[in-house]
Each structure stands twice: as structure tokens, then as C-alpha cells.
Structure 1
Amino acid sequence: MSGGGPSGLTPEQVERVVAIAMDLARGGDTEQLMEFIDHGLPVDTADADANTLLMLAAYHGHAGTVRALLARGADPDLRNARDQAPIAGALFKGADEVVTVLRDAGADLDAGTPSARAAAAMFGRAHLLAD
């Protein structure tokens, strides 16, 4: 989302909208978050640390929100500024259902630092990535 563009929002307003959307993703408020996306917020919007809506929803264990974002075209492999992928974040947090949703969506198990495979091994969750 760029400020002053077709949305007619100032950069400050765009920043506030993105902050609200990030909070909705963190909190798993799927319905409200989807309203933002349906009204033009790009599904792969990211914060200053390159955490996407999907990353935040995954990290906080909100499988329903992750499913909804993926259904709207979110990229399951976008990594944040620390080179972390959403599936590795979900493994770290023990969000097993989110891991399954992302794996089923084709998330790259070898991307990021640590990769999902490495994170699964570190945290005793390798069974979640088995075929």
C-alpha cells in the first residue's frame, strides 16, 4: 500500500492501517482482517521487520487466520528480516495445526534460517513434516 495512491490515504494513515492489520493477525481476528484485505490491503503486507500478516498469524498459532490468508493468496514462504519463514515460526511456537496447514499449502521446508526441517528437529516436532 503506498500513501497518496489510489487508496487516497496519507502515509500516516497507511501506517496506522498496517499496524491495525498486524494486530488483527497477531490476535487471530480473521473476520476483521479479511475485511481489510477485501477492501484493498495487500495480503502480503509486512511490518518494518518484514513480518507478513501470515507470519504473525502463524507465529501466534491462529490456524483459521492462516487458512484464510492462504485462501486469499498469501505467500507461505515470505521470510522476515531475520530470514525466518512462517512454518519455522509455527514450529518454534508449537503451533502444530498451523504447521500442518502451511505444509499442506506447500510451504518450503528448506527455506529460511533455521529451516522448517531444522526447527522441527530442534524442537522434537519432525513428525509434523513427515510425508
Structure 2
Amino acid sequence: MTAAAATEDRLLLALANASDIGNTAEVSRLLDAGAPVHGMWPTAYGKAPLIRASANGHVGIVRMLLDRGASVDATDDHGRTALMWASCCGRVEIVRMLLDRGASVDATDINGVNAVTISSCRECQTLLRGAERLPRWHRRHSLATWGHAANKLRG
């Protein structure tokens, strides 16, 4: 292993741990030092820092990681996203933030479970179901509009 790779691994481990415990100042320092925002530390069950912060309810860290380019739909070793973990753990504010940042409600883990079915929180389920309906309605409306326009053109 090269020195650069070893340094990156150390930064990633430190970032994963700081994200886990909610140490916002340390997360900021590590990101400034070049810690990989997309990395997954193998001994952390393949959970990216965003997933760890989301599961543990660290709103400021989730926001910081997203602002620094963390993938909103990154998955852990079981195919679970940050949205699934936040929903499962009842982290309403984080569920809302992830949805606002474009997290996929339709993503499923290796068992076919999605964020709605894994949710332990009624308010999270309501947010997730609302997010499911909006895109479907929008798609239907767009298809209906284009279909109507096509019929008009045909005469």
C-alpha cells in the first residue's frame, strides 16, 4: 500500500468515526484535509459517512457531507441508502433533507425493502409516501399533456 493510500484510509476511518459520533468540527477538519466523502470503511459494515450520520441523527453532518458532494443514494453492503437508514431510525429532519436533495424513494436493498417499508416512524412514512406520489403525478401530468398536444397536431 502506498503512503497516499494509507493516508486516505486513515482519513476515511477518522471521518467515518466522527460522522458516527456527531463530531461536526472533526468532520469539517477531515473533509478540509481531503478525507474521501464517498468512501466506505470495510470494518464499518460498508457504511459511508453519510449513511452513518443519517442513521445516528446528525443533521449538521449530513448537510455538510451532502454539501461536499456525498452521493445521496450511495448504498451500504446490504444495498441500504442513507434515506433507508434515516427512515428506519425515525430521523424525520434527515429524511426531509435527503428527499429535498433528491434521494430515491424507490431504491431497494438486497432483500427488496425500500425506505417506506423499513420505516419505524409514521411521520417519515408520510413524507416518503408524499415524495412517491409527487413524481408519479408529475410524470402522469407530463404524459397527458404531451399526449393531448400530439392528438391536437394529428388533427
Q: Which category describes the TM-score, using the shorter chain as reference length?
A: 0.7 to 0.9
- Point out where structure 1 has 5 or more consecutive residues left out of the alignment: none
Decide which of 10, 20, 26 is 2:20's aligned counterpart. Answer: 26
Distance in 1, matches of 2:71 and 2:96, equals 15
Which residue does 1:39 correspond to in 2? 33
Q: Return the structure number with greater helix share.
A: 2
Distance in 2, matches of 1:128 and 1:76, equals 17
Tell me how far 1:38 sits from its aligned partner. 1.5
Work out which structure has the larger RCO, using CA pairs closer than 8 Å and 6 or more positions apart in sequence: 1
Decide which of 50, 54, 57 is 1:54's aligned counterpart. Answer: 50
Change (3 A) 1:85 1:10: closer
Distance in 2, matches of 1:93 and 1:32, equals 24
- Aligned-residue RMSD, C-alpha: 1.8
On the 8 A contact 1:85/1:115 being kept in 2, the answer is: no
Normalising by structure 1, what TM-score? Answer: 0.84
Equivalent pairs counted in the alignment come to 124
Change (3 A) 1:68 1:10: closer
Residue 71 of structure 2 aligns to a residue whose secondary structure is coil
Which residue does 1:119 correspond to in 2? 118
On the 8 A contact 1:79/1:112 being kept in 2, the answer is: no
Which residue does 1:128 correspond to in 2? 127
Change (3 A) 1:44 1:10: closer
- Point out where structure 2 has 5 or more consecutive residues left out of the alignment: 132-155
Residue 109 of structure 1 aligns to a residue whose secondary structure is coil
Which stretch of structure 1 is more off in the superposition, 62-71 or 39-48? 39-48
Cα displacement string for residues 5-42 of structure 1 (whole angstroms, at most 9, x for unaligned residues): xxx4463x544432221110011112211211111111
On the 8 A contact 2:12/2:36 being kept in 1, the answer is: no
Distance in 1, matches of 2:14 and 2:106, equals 31
Tell me how far 1:123 sits from its aligned partner. 4.4
Normalising by structure 2, what TM-score? Answer: 0.72
